[in-house]
Structure formats: structure tokens, C-alpha cells
Amino acid sequence: MLGRTERKRLIEQCEPTDWAMSEVVCERHARTRHVYFPTAGFVSLAIEAADRPGLEVGMVGSEGMLGAELLLGQTTAPWRAVVQDEGTAWRMKASVFQAALIESPLLRRLVSRYLSFRMEQLSLGAACERFHEIGPRLARWLLMSQDRANGNTFHVTHAFLACILGVRRVGVTVAASEMQRLGLIEYRRGKLTVLDRDALHTRACSCYDSNRRDYARTVG
């Protein structure tokens, strides 16, 4: 973790920004002009393939950042980042962030460790999509979203869930309806509330706990 003085110096080079629901923070292959350090809310990272809707490959909340790939010399965004739960973030110009990486060996190590976690998250997500059923995957996604949301309630639609999970909408509807019947969640007019986190955890696939362990091991 950055020391208080270095962290203060980094924040002084940022500006606060608000994120609106469904706002596109960056487009895939667009030049990275800013990096973001979320303080509330979270974004979904999606990849589009041909004419198919985007598939979520990760999410970023206050535990991470957008634009870490600049450390590798990659100056374009590798995915589309869409705000899934409105919030706030610190925004820094890409050029300023690159200069800070040169000046601070500790910052480089922290960003490198975060990138290592991101690679593991991508690999785990690919395996999860291939081998796990819709219900456990949905439970995992809801837990990950709650971890990064401002509370137990966040906005989401069945159509969006179908896109990010790469499944048909009817499959998501069936899985979500069963969770609602069991009292795990409540869904009304695009707002989903987690009612029983412990029970939802028992229904989630093992990837949720694996993801948390990976983060603790690589980022701390």
C-alpha cells in the first residue's frame, strides 16, 4: 500500500468525477486518455465478438482501477467499460499517471500486482463460463456486484444479465425467479436487492471464493 505522503501526492494530481448509470467510461481500442480510481459504484468490463452482445470479463470497483494496462505500454483500452452502479471516482490524465509510474517504484509494484490479479480473473472467468451452470454463475455475479455496490441494492436488468453471462434471457429469468422464490433476492423494476447473502453464497460457484483468494494473495 502507498504511504500517506505518496498517496496524498497522487490524489492531488487527480480530479473527482461522477459516474452515471450506464455511462460508457471507455470504448475498446479507444486511446486511454485518463485512468480512474473508483471510490463508489463499479463498472463492468465487456468484450464484444462479431455481431454478438458484449460478454462481461471482469468488473472494477474501489478495489481496483481502470487504465492499469498503461504500465505495459498499452495505450488503448482492451475492453468497453460501462457503469453498472453509479458512483464516484478519482480521474487522472494518462500522461500524469505514466509519469507517476516512472517516479514511484512502489506504485509500479502495486499496479503490476493488480494486473496479475486481473489476468487470473480473466482466466477464471473463462473457465467459469465454460463449466458452471447459469444459477451458480448468477449467484457469483450478484455477490461480486454487492461487494462493489454502495449497498445491498443495485440496478440491473434480465437483458443485461443475459448479455454479461453469455446466455439466453430465459435462462437468467428462470434462475433469478428461483432465487426470488427462495427469498435470496428481491427484484422490482430494474432494482435488485440481496436479501440473504449467506444463502446466496452457498448457491454461488466456487469461482467467487477463488476470486477473493486470488485478490488477497496478489494484491493484498
Digit-by-digit pLDDT tens for the chain (220 residues) are 788 899 999 999 999 999 998 899 999 999 999 999 999 999 999 887 766 667 888 899 999 999 999 999 999 999 999 998 889 999 999 999 999 999 999 999 999 999 999 999 989 988 998 899 999 999 999 999 999 987 899 888 878 888 778 788 898 889 999 999 999 999 988 889 999 999 999 999 999 999 999 999 999 7
Nearest to 159 by CA among 141, 145, 172, 175: 172
What pTM was computed for the model? 0.92
Contact between residue 118 and residue 94 where contact means Cβ atoms under 8 Å apart: no
Interatomic CA distance for residues 87 and 42, integer angstroms: 7
Contact between residue 83 and residue 22 where contact means Cβ atoms under 8 Å apart: yes
Please give the domain boundaries of the chain with CATH numbers for all domains: 6-128 (2.60.120.10), 133-204 (1.10.10.10)
Interatomic CA distance for residues 154 and 194, integer angstroms: 9
Interatomic CA distance for residues 180 and 178, integer angstroms: 5
- In a 3-state reduction of DSSP, which class is residue 156? coil
Rounded to an integer, what is the distance from CA 9 to the centroid of its chain? 26
Interatomic CA distance for residues 52 and 152, integer angstroms: 31
Burial of 207 (0-12, 13-18, 19+ CB in 10 A): buried
Nearest to 68 by CA among 89, 94, 30, 49: 94
CA distances from 112 to 64, 71, 118, 119, 175 (A): 12, 7, 10, 11, 37
Q: List the helix and strand counts (H, then E) for the chain.
A: 8, 8
Interatomic CA distance for residues 140 and 98, integer angstroms: 34
